[in-house]
Each structure stands twice: as C-alpha cells, then as structure tokens.
C-alpha cells in the first residue's frame, strides 16, 4: 500500500506538476516538429539527433559569446541545418526516410563527441554560468495564484514560448490555407500538385521547421534545464517525442497530452527517493503506453496517407 500512498502524496505537491510541465515542454517541441514534418509526408525519426546537435552548438555558442539568445539562435540554426540534410536526402534524392533518420541520429551522436575533442580538448565541455542560462520568468500577480501559479506561471521562458508554438501549430495546421496545403501534401501529393501547390517547397519548409523546433528544444535542454553539454544528453527524448506524436495521433494537442503524461512520469522518476518502486519501470512507461496505443487498444493511430512516400511528379 505504501507506494500508492507515497505517489498520491507526491501528486498533491505543486512542485511535481511544475516539473511535469517543464519536462513535457522539452518533449513537446520536437513532437510538434514531428507532427509538422509527418503531416507534410516526410517521416522524421531524427528529432533525437537534431536536438542533440542543437544542444551542443547552443552550449558552445553560449560559452564563446556569453549571450543566451544568440546561443538559442545558433542551436535553432544547427537543428535546421541538420534537418535540411534530412530534407534534401528524403525529398530531392527520395531516400528511405527511416534510413536517413537513423543516419542523422548516428551522425549527431558521433559528430558532437568528435567536436568536443576538437573544441575542448578534454572530454568536458565546461559549464555555462547561471546568468547565461535561459531565464525563469514569473508572471506578476498570476504567479501568486495558489498551486496553479507555481505550476504554470513560474516557469522557464521557453515553456511559455513552447505553449504559444503549440497553439500556433494547431491554428496554422487546421485553420489556415497553409495548414490545408501541408496536410494535402501529406495525404494526396498528386492532387495537391494538380491544384498548383508546390509539394517540394511545402515539404522542405515542414522538415526545416521541425529542425528549428528541435533546435529550441536542444537549447532548452542544454542551457535551460541543464547548464552544460554531455555526450548523448538527449537520452532518447527525441524518440519519446516520436512516441508522443503517435500517441497524440499526429495532432498538436494530442501530442501535448501525451507529453504531459510522459513528463509526469519523468517528474515522478526524479522524486523516486520518495516513492519506493524501481524508477526504471517509470522510464519504460512512455514506450509501453505507446505500444498499447499502437496495438489499437485506445483507438487507431493512423499516420497521414502519404507519410514516408517520396513524391515523384507525374506518378499515378
């Protein structure tokens, strides 16, 4: 009985839910990137690598230039550059997008550690000082609301940014002409092409946007949540984001709900000294839940019809 009781007690603390939202946002950004990319028809399992490379260049830029916003920009650029490799290989060269995604992830894991050796000589990147981290921002007045204030309005600046991006993504995808085009290109590229939509342009844009979002996530991870870069510091988060995207059935808010669930798991994991169960089962949870969703126990998870299919003009 005690573990259940311990968890219940933990669930009543605002601190836990504050951490839940932070971790959720870290997953949300790459998950939204995945939603945008896959809605346009390009499979993206490379969020892990894009986040990792962004985290590395974000930290490096912050250490060299002592400007966290510039560093975030560099991180986004790094994510976008790696994404454009995936885009060119997938769209122009019509490569297998899964192989390309794996290659991106391996490339990022290898290049970051290789560059640590080049840039820093030793296996240690060094730390970013507190003043050069992405700041926490407390909303005046709102942060005084009991419980909710601490959970929502005493957060890192990137949490607010991510929530705005969440709403934007939803609105753009489902309420604008551009969103209709993105979805058309992912479902029926031939029809979209006939209607005068530039299939390649939309897909390039979507994949590079996913890189930008992963870039923000990488910056948030390395110079927000943490203050340094360590090899493989994304630790599978890009893949959990992939799971969240599927869990949320390729919708922004669906993905957000999945991220909250997975974030809660991470927050409880961090407090595992309070509860007395092996934390490793909690870490397994996102993957097991996604398998349950994929098994169709919670409704079907159907990707966009032409997700992963390179578009060849004039075909069929």
Q: Does position 288 bind another protein by CB under 8 A?
A: yes
Query: Which residue lies nearer to another protein by CB, 62 or 307?
Result: 307
β-strand 136-138 against 154-156: which pairing, if any? antiparallel
Q: Does position 111 bind another protein by CB under 8 A?
A: yes
Q: Does position 162 bind another protein by CB under 8 A?
A: no
Residue 222 CA to residue 234 CA, distance in Å, equals: 9
Q: Does position 315 bind another protein by CB under 8 A?
A: no
Q: Which residues, 6 or more positions from 16, have their beta carbon under 8 angstroms from its beta carbon?
A: 10, 264, 267, 268, 271
- Cβ-contact 162, 216 below 8 angstroms: yes
Interface positions, 8-47, toward another protein (CB under 8 A): 43, 45
- Cβ-contact 37, 87 below 8 angstroms: no
User: Minimum Å distance from CB 61 to another protein?
Assistant: 17
Query: Which residue lies nearer to another protein by CB, 83 or 151?
Result: 83
| Among 118, 130, 299, 316, contact with another protein (rule: CB under 8 A) | 118
Handedness of CA 277, 278, 279, 283 (dihedral sign): negative
- What DSSP string describes 163-217? HHHHHHHHHHHHHSHHHHHHHHHHH-HHHHHHTT--HHHHHHHHHHHHHHHHHHH
64-93 mask for another protein (x: CB under 8 A)? ---------------------x---x---x
User: Minimum Å distance from CB 311 to another protein?
Assistant: 12
Q: Does position 313 bind another protein by CB under 8 A?
A: no
Q: Does position 142 bind another protein by CB under 8 A?
A: no
Piece in contact with another protein (CB under 8 A), picked from 2-10, 104-112, 199-207, 212-220 = 104-112
Dihedral angle over CA of 100, 104, 109, 110, nearest 10: 80
The one-character DSSP state at 221 is I
**Site residues, another protein (CB under 8 A):** 43, 45, 85, 89, 93-100, 102-104, 106-107, 109-118, 232, 236, 239, 242-243, 246, 278, 280-281, 283-284, 286-288, 290-291, 294-296, 300-309
């Amino acid at each position: 009985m005690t573990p259940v009781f311990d968890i219940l007690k933990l669930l009543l603390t605002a601190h836990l839910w504050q951490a839940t939202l932070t971790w959720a946002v870290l997953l949300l950004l790459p998950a939204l990137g995945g939603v945008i990319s896959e809605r346009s028809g390009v499979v993206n399992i490379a969020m892990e690598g894009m986040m990792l490379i962004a985290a590395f260049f974000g930290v490096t830029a912050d250490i060299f230039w002592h400007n966290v916003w510039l560093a975030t920009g560099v991180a986004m650029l790094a994510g976008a550059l790696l994404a454009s490799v995936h885009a060119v290989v997938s769209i122009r060269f019509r490569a297998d997008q899964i192989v390309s995604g794996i290659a991106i992830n391996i490339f990022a894991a290898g290049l970051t550690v290789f560059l640590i050796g080049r840039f820093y000589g030793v296996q240690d990147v060094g730390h970013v000082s507190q003043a050069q981290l992405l700041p926490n921002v407390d909303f005046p007045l709102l942060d005084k609301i009991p419980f909710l204030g601490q959970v929502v309005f005493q957060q890192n600046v990137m949490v607010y940014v991510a929530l705005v991006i969440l709403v934007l993504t939803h609105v753009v995808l489902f309420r604008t002409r551009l969103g209709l085009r993105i979805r058309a290109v992912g479902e029926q590229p031939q029809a979209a092409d006939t209607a005068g939509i530039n299939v390649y342009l939309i897909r390039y844009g979507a994949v590079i946007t996913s890189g930008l979002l992963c870039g923000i996530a990488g910056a948030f991870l390395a110079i927000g949540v943490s203050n340094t870069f360590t090899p493989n510091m994304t630790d599978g988060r890009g893949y959990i984001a992939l799971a969240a995207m599927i869990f949320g059935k390729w919708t922004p808010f669906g993905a957000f709900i999945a991220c909250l669930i997975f974030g809660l798991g991470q927050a409880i994991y961090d407090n595992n000294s309070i509860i007395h169960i092996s934390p490793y089962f909690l870490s397994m949870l996102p993957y097991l839940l996604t398998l349950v969703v994929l098994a169709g126990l919670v409704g079907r998870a159907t990707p966009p019809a032409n997700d992963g299919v390179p578009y060849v003009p004039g075909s069929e």
